[in-house]
Amino acid sequence: MKKLLALSMVLVSLSSYGQISISQSKTIGVIKNGSSEDIKLSMSGKNITLNYSGINADNRWENSVIRFNGDENDLNTLYGAFVSVFEPDNKDNKNYSLELTLGDDVVKIENKKMMGSPYLVFGNGKTHTRQLTKGQIDKLFGK
């Protein structure tokens, strides 16, 4: 009983100084491969996180994280950059690419085709790349 009383007094005193803050992470979208998450886009306050599995320079799968600060407008801008690959003027342009700075990472976006179907390739500048279709991008951004 004394321990419970002491713990509650500590929590009350800490909260009165504003040192405890609770932030909940909101998952925007997830792309799964079987039961494992391949890509997850989440937001906690102004912190946006993109976790993904990508192929490194040795053609091995590795997990990567891109973190940056932003809001809903920044997410919509990022979505617009991703889907710009599929616009009629860009999807047939083999040289179309964008470079975005997200936090400390430079993300390069390119368009590619496989058997006539367009897809996006993005990487974080550390030679990790990931391929996405338009449907996967919509799912990731909750559209």
CATH of the domain at 124: 3.30.2450
Burial class for 30, CB neighbours closer than 10 Å (0-12, 13-18, 19+): middle
Does residue 8 lie within any of the structural domains? no
Mean pLDDT along residues 13-20: 53
Does residue 55 lie within any of the structural domains? yes
Does residue 91 lie within any of the structural domains? yes
Does residue 3 lie within any of the structural domains? no
Does residue 12 lie within any of the structural domains? no
Band of residue 10 on the pLDDT scale cut at 50, 70, 90: very low
Does residue 113 lie within any of the structural domains? yes
> Among candidates 5, 49, 61, which has minimal Cα distance to 25?
49
Does residue 81 lie within any of the structural domains? yes
Domain count, the chain: 1
**Contact of 141 with 123, CB cutoff 8 Å:** no
Which domain covers residue 107, as residue numbers?
22-140
Band of residue 17 on the pLDDT scale cut at 50, 70, 90: low
Band of residue 23 on the pLDDT scale cut at 50, 70, 90: low
Mean pLDDT along residues 71-100: 88
Does residue 11 lie within any of the structural domains? no
**Residue 115 confidence (pLDDT):** 80
pLDDT of 28 higher than 50: yes
Q: What is the pTM of this model?
A: 0.73
